[in-house]
Structure 1
């Protein structure tokens, strides 16, 4: 479904602050029954496709963007963009790196614990890994996540996970 939308911004004191696009009601109502957890793929100006959730706010629904996306398509708050939305039918509701998939495949116990996490937490961890450009870092950090889950009996503690990342980095220094 294609439409044009203005890039707006929530004030900094609101939950979910930052740039966003309002979804027309008819588009939202048509897409919603075809989505899993309101997950969609959003293509902006035919330049970039991002995975997002359709979120409610008062009497409308929106897609939250970020500065990196705006920079990538060379637009700013107030600009009009071409938006194409389609249901995201992928396993996790967002792309997962090959490296992380391979680590999950190679560690069945860790994979089992990862898949017991809520879909939102899984997406957060996938996002953490996808931020790295280096394939080696993606692999190392994926292993750290699975070891963290095993060490904590399937519980995720982001503060402790950051320490685990730091400890892994320190142990790698020669």
Structure 2
């Protein structure tokens, strides 16, 4: 995936342009993004795109970032993963609606990462 910086109605996001069979590319915004930005079907969007100068950068939810900082073994395991796998873990934690669920998911991921470290 070609990584891009997207501004969606003024909100910055990092995304990958997904390929189509015909060679064109598209962006996908799931329910989580739409819900957080208050988007509804039929809304008009202002979108800007630019190449991501740091395509391997992963935006971490607070629960995961704090856990990695406090747990060196988990941080070592996380560092061994590809950026795509890191994004997947970050998304799993960040996609939880409730704070308790986010924390629980972060702990599950950190425990697995520590075993890898």
**What TM-score, normalized to structure 2?**
0.73
Whose strand fraction is larger, Structure 1's or Structure 2's?
1
Matches within 5 A, 1:26-65: 38-46=2-10, 48-57=11-20, 58-65=22-29
Which residue pairs with 2:84 in the alignment?
Answer: 120
TM-score where L is the length of structure 1: 0.53
2:70 to 106, 109, 122: 106
Q: Deviations over 1:147-169 (max 9, x none)?
A: 12334x46xxxxxxxxxxxxxxx
Unaligned ranges ≥5, structure 2 = none
Cα deviation, residue 98, structure 1? 2.1
CA displacement at 1:86 relative to structure 2: 2.8
Q: Could you tell me whether the CA contact under 8 Å between 2:18 and 2:27 is conserved in 1?
A: yes
SS of corresponding position for 1:73? coil
- The answer to whether residue 108 in structure 2 is matched with residue 144 in structure 1 is yes
Is the Cα contact below 8 Å between 1:103 and 1:139 reproduced in 2?
Answer: no
Q: More displaced, 109-118 or 48-57? A: 48-57
Over the aligned positions, Cα root-mean-square deviation in angstroms equals: 2.8
- Mapped to 2, the partners of 1:94 and 1:40 lie a distance apart of 12
Aligned length: 114
Higher relative contact order, chain-length normalized (CA < 8 Å, sep 6+): 2
Matches of 2:114 and 2:58 in 1, distance apart?
24
